[in-house]
Structure 1
Amino acid sequence: MTILTNEQPKWFWAVSVFTLFFSFCGIMTFVSELFMSNEVFKSLTAEERYFQTHRPFWVLIVFGINVICGSISAVLILLRNKLAFKFGIIAVLCTCIQILYYNMFTSITDVIGIINMQYPLIILITSVLLLLFVKYSIIKKWLS
């Protein structure tokens, strides 16, 4: 008699912990933007201060939804729950909305430079890869 188990490989847990760390970095970025001190705000360039003060509030809300859903997804991966995929989709969609807003409706590249636009793209690519990881984990029945 053989008992079949869908035990996860060690790399599954490594990627899962990375996902949690990635989400924690997103939360820290969101909190630091939300509660920016006057000293930090004054240290920004005039253009950066302009973007901070003239950014629509809904963009900040989308950012918050992004990091909350991404964090919930990371925790659900560690709990081996396939709902992580749905929260991951919401997080990736929010990332896309933010990137589209900044690239289409602002002149952000003039302020931070085209080379610094790699950071949002790295976040988007990493988020999509983590979403594919979750989908693969569901197919392998590592998440239920």
Structure 2
Amino acid sequence: MTTSANKPPIWFWIVSVIGLIWNSLGVHGYLSQAYKTSAYTDAYSSEQLATMDSLPAWYTALFAIAVFSGAIGCLLLLLRKKFSKLLLTLSFLAATIQMVYFLFIADLKGVDFSDNKIMAYIIIVFAAFLVWFAKNANTKGWIN
């Protein structure tokens, strides 16, 4: 039973919904890439598409893990479930490994991915924030 002592404030719900929307956009991005929709292919040059197609399969798997565990984690935040913390941590780890590979290790063959590199840093920061947010919500008894 929920008591007023552990009832989350309105901003908990707002942040959780924003997190769900953010990760849902990531799921959309993953599905667009996996199925090579026109929205995906029209957003990149042929050189960029060829370079992204050459990335290893585990890189794409990390993308799927990051966005799906993030979306489910945020949904569980809205349901006030403690398991959200684990899924958001998994999302953060998968996204961080994926983005570090993209930023520092992958051979991008000299193709310009400037906009994607900026987004890579934003993704890591937001994923880390969601982990902190879930831990904080757990500490305050807002999730159980």
**If the length of structure 1 is used for normalisation, what is the TM-score?**
0.87
Q: State yes or no: 1:139 paired with 2:112.
A: no
Q: Which residue in 2 is equivalent to 1:82?
A: 82
Question: Which has the higher mean CA deviation after the structures are superposed, 53-62 or 23-32?
Answer: 53-62
Question: Which has the higher mean CA deviation after the structures are superposed, 81-90 or 98-107?
Answer: 98-107
Q: State yes or no: 1:101 paired with 2:101.
A: yes
Distance 1:112 1:47 in 2: 9
Q: Which residue in 2 is equivalent to 1:28?
A: 28
Distance 1:89 1:36, change over 3 A: same
Q: Which residue in 2 is equivalent to 1:57?
A: 57
Counterpart of 1:112 in 2: which secondary structure? Answer: coil
TM superposition shift of 1:6? 1.0
Distance 1:61 1:79 in 2: 27
Contact 1:26 1:67 in 2 (8 A): yes
Contact 2:85 2:131 in 1 (8 A): yes
Please provide the CA RMSD for this pair: 2.3
Query: Match of 2:131, as an amino acid?
Result: L
Structure 1 residue runs of 5 or longer lacking an equivalent are: none
Distance 1:45 1:25 in 2: 21
Distance 1:4 1:55, change over 3 A: closer
Q: State yes or no: 1:123 paired with 2:98.
A: no
Q: Which residue in 1 is equivalent to 2:19?
A: 19
Q: Percent identity?
A: 26
TM superposition shift of 1:49? 2.5
Deviations 1:32-79 (A, max 9, x none): 100114796487434213213211111111111111111110111011
Contact 1:85 1:135 in 2 (8 A): yes
Distance 1:95 1:109, change over 3 A: farther
Distance 1:111 1:140, change over 3 A: same
Distance 1:116 1:4, change over 3 A: closer
TM superposition shift of 1:139? 0.6
Deviations 1:89-113 (A, max 9, x none): 1100101111122123324494234
